[in-house]
Chains A and B, each alone.
Chain A
Amino acid sequence: MFNYYENVIWKIDGALFACALALSAFIIIYSALKDILWRRRNQRLAELKKSFQHLAEAGKNSIKNGCISLTSRVRPEEFLSITHDINSIIPRKFESQLRQCFISYNKLSDIERLAEKSGNKWKRIQAIIILGYAKSESALNILKASLFNKDEDISYFSLLALGEMKDESSARVLFDFLQKRIYSGYKIISLLESFPASVAEVAIEYTKSDDPFVRFWALRLLSKLNLRGSLNTIIELTKDSVPNVRAAACDCLAGIGGQEAAAGLRQCLYDDFWFVRMHAVRGMGKALGKDSVREVSALIQDGNWLVRDAVKKVFKDNIEESLTVIEKIFSGNDDNAKSDCAEVLEFSGYIDTLLKELLSKEPHTRTLALLKGVVGARAHLGLEWSIKKFSSQERAHIISDIARIDPLLSEHIDKKIKDIIKEP
């Protein structure tokens, strides 16, 4: 009654079946061929790498003579694999010679042409990366232009290639590009971080940029470079109008260290923004070491837990110097600060020392005060763990001391250690 067009469907089925068979055959042939090509390519790459290694082993003069003939055999895509793996192929001391050889070899102009005009995007990207490695003078302009290409891949790999150039000019291009906010500061600064130390001078220039984003990232980079000569510029930036910049300046000063840096950090300890305070505390810890304890101790009562966390870290790293401050906090009224200090004693491993001292004939009054503080802060898990390490006689002694402070807790710990109760 109705036309189901079964003949048409059968015809479609026939076509689909033929397609399925053809596709199956194609996948098998393609995979087999790809396997063979893959193996050949790897073999050739291994041979090339070996030849470069031999050349490097033969010494300076051999590199000069043998390099060009070897380079002429390398195709761009192979060159890319070699440059990616360069540090495992040849010793670093020969790297610049090898690079010079690539530059002097006239194939570089072909690569430059590819990097500028190739219609095949990925061939173009390969050429761009090679240009970055070759570090030729003409490369900079090509890479600078391709950095602003509409295609995000071409732009991104030009960025990486500029990162590979590692000289002052490329650093400036990267800093300028930072202002465009096309790629994150993390990405660009991670590239600049691998530049030689002279990049610091460029970074200092950019700390004076009108753009707070650039100032911030220039400072972040400087914080990894430990640059004493720029101290005053950085201290000035602790007064910047942008809190992010002030925080980054604190990081920088932390790396520089010493009393002069601490003077800059001190003015950020009570900043209105919590993360500036946090960076200032961390910075103090790094810059002054044990001397920072007193400077930051008041911030254990800060309203922000990350600032308190930073203070705890300073206490933990300088536990001996912190004990007096901790004792004072235990005798105060701030429960949060008390619990933080108990945590510091636990994480620093000082609880073990405390308990050992408790077993001595005449324990120090501070020992008892600290134990009282830990028990009072209800931070007993670390205590249990440490008590477990002692003999049963010593445990009894310690638990009786705790019983004098908090009988219920001591009973609980005792039962738990004896496995009478288990915390669910």
Chain B
Amino acid sequence: MIKFLLPVFIYLLFLVSFAYFFVMTFYFLLLSAISFFEEKRRVMELDAEDFTTLYSSSFTLPVSVIIPAHNEEEWITDAVKAALNLKYPEFEVIVVDDGSTDNTLKQLDSLLKLKPFDMPFAEYLRCGRIREIFKSQAYPNVTVINKDGGCKKAGAVNAALNISRFKYVCVTDADTIIEPDALIKVMAHVQKDPENIIGVGAYFGLVNGLKIKDGKIIKWSFSHKPTVASQNIEYMRSLIVMRTAWSKFNVMPIIAGGFGIWRRDIFLELGGYSPEYSSEDLEFTFRVHDYFLEKNDKKYKVLMLPYIASWTEGPSNIVSLIRQRNRWQRVTNETVWHYKHMIFNLRYGAFAFFLLPYFLFYEVFGVFIEVAAIAFLVWGITVQVVDMRVLLAFFSFMVLTNTISSLLAIFIFTKDQKVFSMKDITYFIVLSFLEFFWYRWIITIAKIMGTFSWLRGIKTYDQYVRAER
């Protein structure tokens, strides 16, 4: 019986996984085609925009920049300086020291000259206990909140949201260097339609390797460590190709923590970021879509702009990378599970039929399909029901579809943006061919670990070890 069923099972699995790869490749090609034109459009818009008026106008919408920090003594000074270097008519910076046990607060004090501040504090959004609020004596537009840890980044951002003054907030990270023109580029779009633009994300790359002084990038020398460079390719694939294309249909699934602009009243309306998840950004973006689509509001917009807004530190070794991706997988599973009512639900339109199936079949189950396909084919060879040539052909197919996806992302990103040198681009191309042989499997391991952690109910926010600067 087994002798008969095994080849049937392997054959069916082969067909399913081949179809899966075929559909996923087609999906990616479709997104690439959309993002190709969308990226072009956004870059042309940027070239033609009248920034002089925006810089000088008193009607340019002010923004609160929020920087949550937990044990970020390495980065916090540069991150805050970068925020202070922003070229924007009116903004405030709110730094939240989220129960740090290192010298984060001391670093902030020496940079900002902090003075305690008796400020009425209403906890509109759950954030944990506030220890003290400080005002900077050196920079009047900077406030620092010192609070207990324990509510993750969600609690830290919520604390800042509770006291932020402006209609729009820019949420970033303490290991992130914001580009001086990031706000003006993104807010130029928001200014067109602030009633309906709820959130905007923008591209952020990896800061690893760049030389930074006083919050400014002084030498563009991207890290050529394969782990870091592969993440750069992945960011291009995800942020530039996929999210830009999804944004065209208003199904942007995530405004990532590295750089995102949100309308503050939406946070207040929806209860802010939730500390109940392994990470906050994906779940909140889903919640926003759920909220508006549920009440049949078709005018709201959550956008992704392919502009370079900031540079954030990425894991520089495999252990840190696995830890980070483990958390990302957990939050993906937690979110998809929580919002399962939206999947293939007519009320949620493109979100239910164009985006969520991708999340379900690729982000949640994809890793198992890939691993099972390879594992059973290998098993099939050992029990001599599958020819070695089949495995090689299938494996090559997986490698090449992955390579082409990466190459397309590199092309779409570099065709209009002048960030990477010829040397960088050539290196990325070479890595695209090799990525499947090692990087993909690191991510696969992390995803499997993440899924098991999710099943065990683990929801910790693990901070990976910072690379030495």
> Which residues of A are interface residues toward B (Cβ below 8 A)?
1-2, 4, 6, 9-10, 12-13, 16-17, 19-20, 23-24, 26-28, 30-32, 34-35, 38, 80, 84, 87, 122, 125-126, 129, 153, 156-157, 160, 163-164, 183-184, 186-187, 189-191, 193-194, 220, 224, 305, 339, 342-343, 346, 379-382, 384-385, 423-424
- Chain A residues lying within 8 Å of B461, measured Cβ to Cβ, are none
Nearest 7 interchain pairs by C-beta? A190-B57, A16-B400, A190-B59, A381-B116, A9-B393, A379-B118, A2-B11
A20 with B400, Cβ < 8 A, contacts A184-B192, A339-B120, A381-B132 known = yes
A30 contacts B411, CB within 8 Å? yes
B61, B193, B410, most chain A CB atoms within 10 A: B193
**Extra 12 A-B pairs, beta carbons < 8 Å, given A23-B407, A186-B194, A305-B120:** A4-B14, A6-B390, A17-B396, A20-B400, A20-B432, A27-B407, A27-B414, A28-B429, A187-B192, A190-B54, A342-B118, A343-B118
- Chain B residues lying within 8 Å of A346, measured Cβ to Cβ, are 117-118
Q: How many residues of B contact A (CB 8 A)?
A: 61
- Chain B residues lying within 8 Å of A190, measured Cβ to Cβ, are 53-54, 57-60, 191
B58 contacts A193, CB within 8 Å? yes
Assembly CA distance A341 to B409 (angstroms)? 58
- Chain B residues lying within 8 Å of A35, measured Cβ to Cβ, are 422
Assembly CA distance A114 to B111 (angstroms)? 53
CB distance from A375 to the nearest CB of B (A): 12
A27 contacts B429, CB within 8 Å? yes
A-B contact pairs, 20 of them (CB 8 A): A6-B390, A9-B390, A9-B393, A10-B396, A16-B404, A23-B408, A23-B411, A28-B425, A28-B426, A87-B52, A125-B48, A157-B48, A160-B53, A184-B192, A184-B194, A186-B191, A190-B53, A190-B60, A220-B59, A424-B148
A20, A84, A129, A193, most chain B CB atoms within 10 A: A20
Pick the contact of A30: B18, B195, B415 (CB < 8 A).
Answer: B415
Interface string of B192-222 (1 = CB under 8 A from A): 1111000000000000000000000000000
Assembly CA distance A66 to B50 (angstroms)? 28
B390 contacts A186, CB within 8 Å? no
Question: Does B56 sit at the interface, judged by CB under 8 A?
Answer: yes
B112-153 residues at the A interface, CB under 8 angstroms: 115-120, 131-132, 148
Q: Of B175-183, B329-337, B381-389, which binds chain A?
A: B381-389
> Which residues of B are interface residues toward A (Cβ below 8 A)?
7-8, 11, 14, 18, 41, 44-45, 47-50, 52-54, 56-61, 115-120, 131-132, 148, 191-195, 385-387, 389-390, 393-394, 396-397, 400-401, 403-404, 407-408, 410-411, 414-415, 418, 422, 425-426, 429, 432-433
| Interface residues of B, dominant DSSP | helix
Residue of A nearest to B148 (CB): A424
- Chain A residues lying within 8 Å of B117, measured Cβ to Cβ, are 346, 381-382
A6, A31, A183, A224, most chain B CB atoms within 10 A: A31
Assembly CA distance A1 to B3 (angstroms)? 12
A27 contacts B14, CB within 8 Å? no
A193 contacts B397, CB within 8 Å? no
- Chain A residues lying within 8 Å of B116, measured Cβ to Cβ, are 381-382, 384-385
A193 contacts B59, CB within 8 Å? yes
Residue of B nearest to A1 (CB): B7
Assembly CA distance A122 to B45 (angstroms)? 9
A6, A84, A156, A343, most chain B CB atoms within 10 A: A6
- Chain B residues lying within 8 Å of A31, measured Cβ to Cβ, are 414, 422, 425
A13 contacts B393, CB within 8 Å? yes
- Chain A residues lying within 8 Å of B148, measured Cβ to Cβ, are 424
A187 with B48, Cβ < 8 A, contacts A4-B390, A6-B387 known = no
- Chain B residues lying within 8 Å of A129, measured Cβ to Cβ, are 48
Assembly CA distance A1 to B153 (angstroms)? 56
CB distance from B262 to the nearest CB of A (A): 17
- Chain B residues lying within 8 Å of A10, measured Cβ to Cβ, are 389, 393, 396
- Chain A residues lying within 8 Å of B390, measured Cβ to Cβ, are 4, 6, 9
Pick the contact of A381: B54, B118, B387, B407 (CB < 8 A).
Answer: B118
CB distance from A135 to the nearest CB of B (A): 15
- Chain A residues lying within 8 Å of B49, measured Cβ to Cβ, are 160
B56 contacts A194, CB within 8 Å? yes
B44 contacts A125, CB within 8 Å? yes
Pick the contact of B50: A24, A163, A189, A384 (CB < 8 A).
Answer: A163
Residue of B nearest to A305 (CB): B120
Residue of B nearest to A374 (CB): B118
Assembly CA distance A191 to B56 (angstroms)? 10
A184 contacts B415, CB within 8 Å? no
Pick the contact of A160: B50, B61, B394, B418 (CB < 8 A).
Answer: B50
- Chain B residues lying within 8 Å of A156, measured Cβ to Cβ, are 192
